[in-house]
Amino acid sequence: MAGSATGRVLRDRTAGLFLAAVVVSGFGSSAMSLAAGIWVKSLTGSDSLAALALFTVWMPVLFGPVLGAVADRLPRKPLLVWSNVVMALLLTTLTTVDSAGRIWLLFAVLALYGTSFVLMDPAESALVAGAVDARLLGDFNGLRMMANEGVKLVAPLTGAALCARFGGASVALLDAVSFALAAGLYGLLRVRRPDPAVAGDGAGGWTAGMRQVWGSPGLRPLVLAGSVTMLCAGLNGATLYAVVDGTLGHSPAYAGVLSVAQGVGSVAVGLLAGPLLRRLPERVFTAAGIALFGVAVGLRAVPYDTVALLACGLIGAGLPCVLIAAMTAVQRETPDALLGRTAATANTLMMAPNAVALALGAGLVALVDVQVLLPLVGAVAPAAAVALVTGRRGVLTHTAAGPRSSSAEA
C-alpha cells in the first residue's frame, strides 16, 4: 500500500516536477545556508555577523501572513518561475563580494533570499493542493520532507568544501544554477485554467490566513502544537556545540556527523508519513512524533556517542511529523483562494518560535548546564503531545474528498 501510494505520487506529473524542483533548489540552498556564515566569518572575522547571516535568511518568516497575501494575488506558476529567475540573477552579483566593505551586498541578497522562499512556499502548497489527490497529500508532503532532508546529507558539506577551496562566490554560483534549473522545472507545469489568485478573490486581506487557522478546530491545535515543538527545537539546536564539545568531548566538526544522523531519521519518516497518516488520526500521528522528539532531546544529555547518534536519528524522525501533518491539514481544509495566506501564516506561527528560541537558547547555554537544560526542554514536548491528544476535538472538513484538480493539470 505504501509503495503503491508513493508510486502514484511519483507518477503524477505535477507532483514529480515539484519534487524534482525541491531536490534541485534544496541542494543549492542547503549549500548556501552553511557557506554564507563561513563566508561572512572569513571576510569580517566576526562570529556575531556570521550568526546574523543565518538570521537574515530566517527574518522574512516573521512577515509570512503579509507575503502570503501577496502570493494569493499573483498567478502562482509565474510567481514560482520568476522568483527563481530573479534569485538566480541576484546570486550572480555576489561574485563581487570580496572584502568586508562589500558584505552589505551579501546581507541584502540573503534578505531577498529568505523573502523569496516565504513567497514561493504558499504558492507551491496551493498548486499542489489543486493538482494532487487529497488522499495522497500526506504522501506528497512526506516525500517533500524526505527530499529536503535528503539533500542536506551532502549539500552542506559540498558548500563548505567549495567555500574553503574556491571562496563563497563559487557556492553562490552553484546556488544560482540550482535556482535557474528550478525555474525551468516550474515552467514545465501545465496550468489548466487561471487559478483563484488570478480570479480576484482576495477577501479578508492578509489577516484572512490568521482567521482561517485560528477559527478552525482542526487546524488550530496542530499549528499550536507545531509552535511549541519548534520552540523546543530551537532551544535544542542552540545546545549543539555545547553537547559536541562539553558532553561528548569532540571537535566542532563532529556536529556534521550528528547532522547526518538526524537527516537519516527525517528521510525515513518522510517515506512513512503518508501511510501512517492514512492509518492514524492526524492528532495521534502528530503527538507520537512530538513525544518521540521530546524523549530524544532528553537523551542528548547522555555522554555517549552511540546514544547521541540514536537521539539525533530519533529527533530527525519525530520533529517533521508535526510539520507534515499541519501542512497537509492546511492544504485539505483551506479554500483555494486563501491557501497562500493560510499556509504562510501557519508557517510563521510554527517557525518564528524556532528563530526566537535559537537566540534565547544561546543565552541559556551560557547560564544552564546542558545536562540540566536538555531534559527540561525534552519534558515540554511530551506535555504538548498529551495536550494535543486530550484536547477538544476538531473535525477537518476535507473540502476535497477526491482529486483537487481545478487549478493545475497532473
CA distances from 144 to 8, 29, 232, 265, 327 (A): 14, 15, 23, 14, 11
The verdict on residue 37 lying in a domain is yes
Contact, 164 vs 43, CB < 8 A? no
Domain that holds residue 378: 2-390
Count of structural domains within the chain: 1
Q: Is the pTM of this model over 0.75?
A: no
Nearest to 24 by CA among 109, 75, 84: 84
pLDDT along the chain (410 residues), means of 10: 64 80 86 80 75 77 81 84 94 90 90 88 77 74 80 78 85 93 88 49 66 84 92 86 82 74 87 84 91 94 93 92 88 79 85 81 81 92 89 48 34
The verdict on residue 395 lying in a domain is no
Mind spelling out the 3-state secondary structure of the chain?
CHHHHHHHHHHCHHHHHHHHHHHHHHHHHHHHHHHHHHHHHHHHCCHHHHHHHHHHHHHHHHHHHHHHHHHHCCCHHHHHHHHHHHHHHHHHHHHHCCCHHHHHHHHHHHHHHHHHHHHHHHHHHHHHHHHCEHHHHHHHHHHHHHHHHHHCCCHHHHHHHHHHHHCHHHHHHHHHHHHHHHHHHHHCCECCCCCCCCCCCCCCHHHHHHHHHHHCCCHHHHHHHHHHHHHHHHHHHHCHHHHHHHHCCCCHHHHHHHHHHHHHHHHHHHHHHHHHHHHCCHHHHHHHHHHHHHHHHHHCCCCCHHHHHHHHHHHHHHHHHHHHHHHHHHHHHCCHHHHHHHHHHHHHHHHHHHHHHHHHHHHHHHHCCHHHHHHHHHHHHHHHHHHHHHCCCCCCCCCCCCECCCCCEC
The verdict on residue 398 lying in a domain is no
The verdict on residue 224 lying in a domain is yes
The verdict on residue 18 lying in a domain is yes
The verdict on residue 133 lying in a domain is yes
The verdict on residue 401 lying in a domain is no
The verdict on residue 403 lying in a domain is no
Give me the CATH number covering residue 214: 1.20.1250.20
For residue 122, with 0-12 CB atoms within 10 Å meaning exposed, 13-18 middle and 19 or more buried, which class applies? Answer: buried
